Amino acid sequence: MPRDALANPVVLAALGALLERPMHAYQLATVLAGRGVPANRGSLYDTMEAMTRAGWIEPQPAQREGARPQRTPYALTQAGQAELARRLDRQVREPRREFPEFLGAVSHLGVLGKRRAAEALAERAARLAALIGDDQRRLDEALAGNVPRLFVIEAEYALALLRAERDWVLAIADDVTSGRLAWPLVWERQ
């Protein structure tokens, strides 16, 4: 088990999902995966155990569906709701520097050489455009289906980030091909 399972970033997403309804661990893992939250089942069980010890969730009577094994759903407690609100408040108020994988890759862009870097950036921009189109379509469908905007603002935020990244990637690709971005001679021929 991690040193502090309650420090796992999955805790916030798990508490939020359990706010909607009680779930057993397998259901919770499925819901989180559907929302793009990477939750390893083993660590999720450890996290749920730690949240139970902290009094944030509590087991409900076990349920059996058909021939499936009996499973214990967990419900959010008042203490869990308070912890969810505390974490949300802090995360909304306090910006943190996060280190996405792309940031690490782009910091070594010169290794690819000018031509390959420009090609890679153009391909990324095209893939980002496809993601933006898909995400925008899903957001439009949700809003057209009368889902309150408050319940999908995270999708708006994700779209804004994708658009900003696409615009930046296109600008850097243009800087590479136009020569406005200086390239070390050692990597220029690659």
Within 13 Å, how many C-alpha atoms sit on residue 44's CB side?
Answer: 22
- Average pLDDT rounded to a whole number, residues 166-183: 95
Residue for token pair 């095209």? 126
In this structure, the dihedral spanned by the alpha carbons of residues 155, 26, 15 and 98, taken in order and rounded to 10 degrees, is: -50
State the CATH architecture for 5-93.
Orthogonal Bundle (1.10)
Helix orientation angle between 10-20 and 78-93, rounded to the nearest 10 degrees: 130
What are the tens digits of pLDDT across the range 51-62? 999 999 999 998
The average confidence (pLDDT) of the chain is 90
pLDDT digits 0-9 by tens, 96-106 = 988 889 999 99
Top pLDDT among 77 and 67 is at: 77
Dihedral (Cα; 115, 117, 121, 127), 10-degree rounding: 90
Confidence of residue 187 (pLDDT cuts 50, 70, 90): low
Rounded to an integer, what distance in angstroms lies between the CA atom of residue 43 and that of residue 39?
7
**What pLDDT, on a 0 to 100 scale, did the predictor assign at position 40?**
81
pTM: 0.76
Identify residue 4 by its one-letter amino acid code.
D
> Where do the domains of the chain lie?
5-93, 101-188
Q: Tell me the pLDDT tens digit for each residue of 105-145.
A: 999 999 999 999 999 999 999 999 999 999 999 999 999 99
Closest CA to 27 of 51, 2, 44: 44
